[in-house]
Amino acid sequence: MATLETDVLVVGGGATGAGVAWDAALRGYDVVLADRADLAEGTSGRFHGLLHSGGRYVVKDPVAAEECVTENAVLRRIVPDCIEDTGGLFVTTPDDDPAYGDRFLEGCRATNLPGEEIDVAEALRMEPRLNPGIRRAFTVPDASIDAWKTVWALARGAASRGARILTHHKVVDLHVAGEAVTGARLRNELTGEELDVQAGFTLNASGAWAAQIVKMAGIGGVGVIPGKGIMIAMNHRLVNTVVNRCTMPADGDILVPIRTVSVIGTTDIRAADPDEIPVTQDEVDQMLDDGERLVPSFRDARALRVWAGVRPLFQDEKAGDGEAVDTRDVTRAHAVVDHVARDDIGRFLTMSGGKLTTLRLMAQDIVDAMCRQLGHDRPCTTATTPVPAGGDSHANGNGYYHLGSRLRRREATLQDEQLICECELIGRSRLEETMRRRGTTNLDDIRRSLRLGMGPCQGGFCIYRATGILHGVGRLDGDEASSSLRGFLQERWKGVWPILYGDQLRQARLDDWIFQGLLDVEHMP
């Protein structure tokens, strides 16, 4: 078995893990990050894309709100090209209590959140599709953030400082020697090969899967309640500003414009297993009704895709959490679980809870705790160090992502190359470069990097092309091409069938026409 030695093993390649790897690498540690799948394939890649201003928590959870206020500003400085500065609105719909707005403003003041009430007429001018029956409106500095881009940028930044990023490497066991964790045994999920990592310290950043990792260290009594949330991406930007219902956090009360779509979220349902989170019809219907409350005729708009994510809501029996039933009441604030104090196990820390907006602070807290345990004095510098932007930066003048930038760049080279994905404006050279850089043959991995197949036609046209190109450049043999194409169609189907109505059903049937009637993918060798 091959062996790697490192200062720090980070378990989990979501926003937290990538943030931890970046933070530790910046402090001069040698880092290995392992994820059982692709980066941001778990919770981070399955959220609504909201960079919280903190407004959502000002009444219910002021500590979480304050963290959001600070971290929102920090992320705008360090990963601006992953953020679209949409701004946010909190609106009192006809179904909401207008008095909540007063508590909301009070909470904003108490947490230093720059929330301001504006005229309803002004809000409707900003967002003409909003429910004209809204009674109050408040502006906040919400934004949308591209989780994939963020996680990739952090991982690339860490790698540029020597970190080794091992995707598709699952932790199958932790090494425990005496009273410390000394590394882990990994299995490459693509090849089946095993790899032994000797680590000076192990940081568990595996979110909803953290309890499974903790158990490998022989530690009991830590549970994670997977809190399932579903989200639906609607074709078009129904709004260009993040819109929140001004009420206590509930289901279906956020609409986030991100990239070419807008995402409505979310629900909060206790799941038994973070890997078993099917979307039900009732949940879809509920989201559509909730959308209708924010934007009338929401149901007439086209739904592109539905997915579910799992929040890592922690339950520590020793801390007396007991059996919380409503997962929404479990705190969203994060905490570092100190396994020395709790279990007499050293060189091992677990991150519990948290949210994407506070990923940098979470990383700082857990790496600080590691430094304290190791007796190192290495201060955190992530709040002031910009993360290197990727080659596909879409930044506009002020550094933020801008919706029109991909189109602008594409139009400049319109005559020079083939457009492979018309929906997301992906040219052939970009596709080929991504295949090379990522070294992946998995169409679903490429989808996450490029948004290939994420537009209205859901891969109807581009996926045959991408398969042909992957095969043509020799990265796939015929066998792999067939299974990659079939795998993509199945993965796509999972996200579309619960929302197939209206024009998207029509689109899906056209795609059937192509994949079954014309290409007959089902019977390809």
Partner 1 sequence: MSHHDAIVVGVGLAGLTAAARLAEGGARVLVLAKGVGATHLGPCTIDVIGYAPERVERPGEALAGLGDGHPYAAVGRDGVQAALDWFKGVMAPYPYVGGLEENLLLPTAVGALKPSAAVPGTMAAGDLREGGEVCVVGFRALKDFHATLLADNLARAGIPARAVELDLVPEGRADVNSLGFARAFDAPAFRSEVAAHLTARLGRDERLAFPAVLGIAGPTAAWSELRDRLARPVFEVPTLPPSVPGMRVFAILRERLRRAGARVILNAVVHDAERSGGRVTGVQARVGLRDVRHGADWVVLATGGFASGGLELDSRWRAREVALGLPVSGAPGPGEERFRAGYFDDHPMGRAGVRVGRDLRPEGLDNVLVAGATLAGAQPWREKSGDGISLSTGHRAAELILGQRAAAPPTEPAKAEA
Which residues contact partner 1 by CB under 8 A?
281, 288, 299-300, 303, 415-420, 428, 461, 464-465, 467-469, 471-472, 477-479, 481-482, 485, 489-490, 492-494, 497-498, 500-502, 505-506, 509-510, 512-514, 516-525
CB of residue 520 vs partner 1: minimum separation in angstroms?
4
CB of 1 to partner 1, least distance (A): 34
- Least distance (Å) from partner 1 to the CB of residue 513? 6
CA distances from 69 to 106, 141, 296, 313 (A): 15, 9, 31, 21
For residue 480, the Cα-to-chain-centroid distance in whole angstroms is 28
User: Whose Cβ is closer to partner 1: residue 98's or residue 472's?
Assistant: 472
Q: Which is nearer to partner 1, 122 or 512 (CB)?
A: 512
- Nearest approach in angstroms of CB 419 to partner 1 is 6
Pull the structure tokens for residue 483: 């299974």
Q: Which is nearer to partner 1, 222 or 489 (CB)?
A: 489
138 vs 307 by CB, closer to partner 1 = 307
Supply φ then ψ for residue 194, to 5 degrees.
Answer: -105, 155
Closer residue to partner 1 in complex, CB, 28/502: 502
- Least distance in angstroms from the C-beta of 336 to partner 1: 39
Enumerate the β-bridge partners of residue 138.
Answer: 90, 117
**Structure tokens of 233?**
């991406």
Q: What angle do CA 40, 41, 47 make, to 5 degrees?
A: 75
- C-beta of 32 vs 233, nearer to partner 1: 233
Q: How far apart, in whole angstroms, are the C-alpha atoms of residue 239 and residue 67?
A: 26
Count Cβ atoms within 10 A of the Cβ of residue 68 and give its class: 0-12 exposed, 13-18 middle, 19 or more buried. Answer: buried
Distance separating alpha carbons of residues 320 and 231, to the nearest angstrom: 32
Min separation Cβ 497 and partner 1, Å:
4
Give least dist CB 354 to partner 1, A: 31
Nearer to partner 1, 2 or 518 (CB): 518
Beta-carbon contacts of residue 408 (< 8 Å; ≥ 6 apart): none
Distance of CA 143 to the CA centre of its chain: 14
| Minimum gap (Å) between residue 439 Cβ and partner 1 | 20
Nearer to partner 1, 25 or 450 (CB): 450
Q: How far is the CB of 491 from partner 1 (least distance, A)?
A: 9
**Structural tokens at position 300:** 């007439």
Tell me how far the alpha carbon of residue 514 is from its chain's centroid.
Answer: 31
| Nearer Cβ to partner 1 (51/489) | 489
Residue whose CB is less far from partner 1, 331 or 482: 482
Q: Which is nearer to partner 1, 235 or 357 (CB)?
A: 235
3-state secondary structure of 237: coil
Question: For partner 1, which is the closer residue by CB, 27 or 492?
Answer: 492
Say how many residues make up the chain: 525
44-47 long-range contacts, CB within 8 A, separation 24+: 44/14, 44/15, 44/16, 44/147, 44/148, 44/151, 44/356, 45/14, 45/147, 45/148, 45/151, 45/448, 46/231, 46/307, 46/308, 46/309, 46/310, 47/147, 47/229, 47/231, 47/265, 47/266, 47/309, 47/356
Of 19, 9, 277, nearest to 145 (Cα)? 19
Residue with tokens 């490429």: 446
Instruction: Return the closest-CA partner of residue 457 out of 239, 308, 305, 307.
Output: 305
Return all residues near 270 (Cβ < 8 A) that are at least 6 apart: 225, 226, 227, 228, 325, 327
User: Least distance (Å) from partner 1 to the CB of residue 434?
Assistant: 16
How far, in Å, CA of 91 to CA of 193, rounded? 53
Report residue 259 as tokens. 């990239």
Query: CB of residue 33 vs partner 1: minimum separation in angstroms?
Result: 32
Cβ atoms of 432 and 484 closer than 8 Å: no
309 neighbors 228 (Cβ within 8 angstroms): yes
Minimum CB separation from partner 1 for residue 476, in Å?
9
Shortest CB 501 distance to partner 1, Å: 5
Among 322, 336, 349, residue whose Cα is nearest residue 219? 349
Q: Which two tokens stand for residue 87?
A: 């701004």
Choice between 284 and 383, CB closer to partner 1: 284
